[in-house]
Chains A and B, each alone.
Chain A
């Protein structure tokens, strides 16, 4: 499905990572294995939550930073959207808790979206369509996108533990009648929903002691049922089969030439995949990569690229793909956008 949304501008993108850094070469695996995995995934280090560190605190601080950066009064916020797969509670929604923590306007709407690697695109799409459909009544929306995947990875699983980092982002979107249209394409292919899954995580399979017991999978990898299970080969095939097409489709739908685009910001799945995609689409020189520093941060990876390159340019293509399987693309104008990235600091009273 395709659409172009009018009257919305991205004012600011803020990202934050926890202060704890894990260097992949320090992990408890054989030296040879570590070198090979680091080379293949491109991930050298990752920021992860400390045990028992509150993820909500990161959301809260990034919200405060965003309001400060824009000098936006908290009463002027009309809506809060949180995109995550690692919510604080089954209920209530994290967005509702955040509205209270940030003391935002009580007339603001708030809802959570459950979405992974394509989540930033869906989040932008939702925030913008909420604004566009209100004919200007909804003026300012804060879109929080972040996951703490390190909390759901088995530390002995060598496919996943090297790969995932934690991060949050906050994108401030405002109603602006002079804003250019933002084209979006969104797709779902539920046929392969179990390519990336946590088997014992919800109400389908009851979580018991055995959910936490290590088992060895057919590839000889250790995992447990309370943790992320990923069929890397299938995910790779899905991506290769679908992502180049959706990029082409987005170009033709937006009627923007390949050359006019300043950047192609792919979800930072792993270095091999990003290189493969950018080579196939022939946009290597316009494909920023920062996975070596942060790992795969799920739905936060695209904003994390944007605050890294701080590219205040007109045509930036964002490409999200993964768990679901789900895909989304858009072309955003960031000419008037400000960017900031920071590392979480414990607040001392």
Chain B
């Protein structure tokens, strides 16, 4: 490939505390050759392709720590190709894929399959995770060592929580020795049983069983107590309430080392948006009160929450056209992740730097991957966006195979213009 000279652009790269107007040179090897305000045309080779970015913004490609790809088993919901297209259109270049496929990614042979299949069909960087326990039954841990050796980035039961304290303590003890990443969904099933939305006024009005914030908080309390004993790499997939945040604050202040994620759904929607049984807004953890949403946004700003994820969960219409309590859980989101995150910049609740940090370098650090940065020598995975262009989200125009977006008709501001993957232009907005 030829060298590229990207110029006339504001560069925001929190990994090197950079926020300045300058240029980027992508070398022939697809890596960042030079970056910053001092870079001039003469630093690039004479044959370099010049791309004028017209004062737009350039950030590292987004790293999404939680997305579901339908392969294998649910190809009718999503596949590697459609997920890649949706991701690139949203500025996402690296994805941690969830293992709750059919069959589950819980053994070595499945890892071989998914890595091969991903390599052939996907056009983004994939980091597959495996299940935390066999058959996500919460009883026996998977082969952490063997699976890691095959290229598994971390272990999660995705939408299930290990209920047994004994099992969880063994998992953490074992994991602490071999250094694997545990990504926990936090929900106590006895407390959340049959619940499908937040427990409160809306659940009372709609006559639906609610899930109390306590169901989330109690598992966080338990796991963090265990973490005090067995210090493994521990990550909470998603939190949803301000009460959880208080527990996290206390433990982080005490010096406990762990990381926390939040779904863009919980940052941009609240329980009132469910309206008259909109099943597309049935997500896990559930949407809660506006005050919870605001607390979560504040949590990102203060750094208590490390990463923002799309929690991309494609579901076909069949699964959603059911009475609310029976409807499938989850919403697509990988393509709308960044525009929705920018909403919080526009309404002045988050700084641009924090948003980019939570979407790039923070997840990369947790995952221990060399992504989410544009330091000299890194892979040239880049997202270029216009901060101000207004547009309306329309499910039909989204690239995902499933159309279950929770933000249909939402007016957003800020649009991804180009996405580069390993130095190659992989997406360009029409």
Same complex: no
A residues whose Cβ falls under 8 Å from a Cβ of B: none
B residues whose Cβ falls under 8 Å from a Cβ of A: none
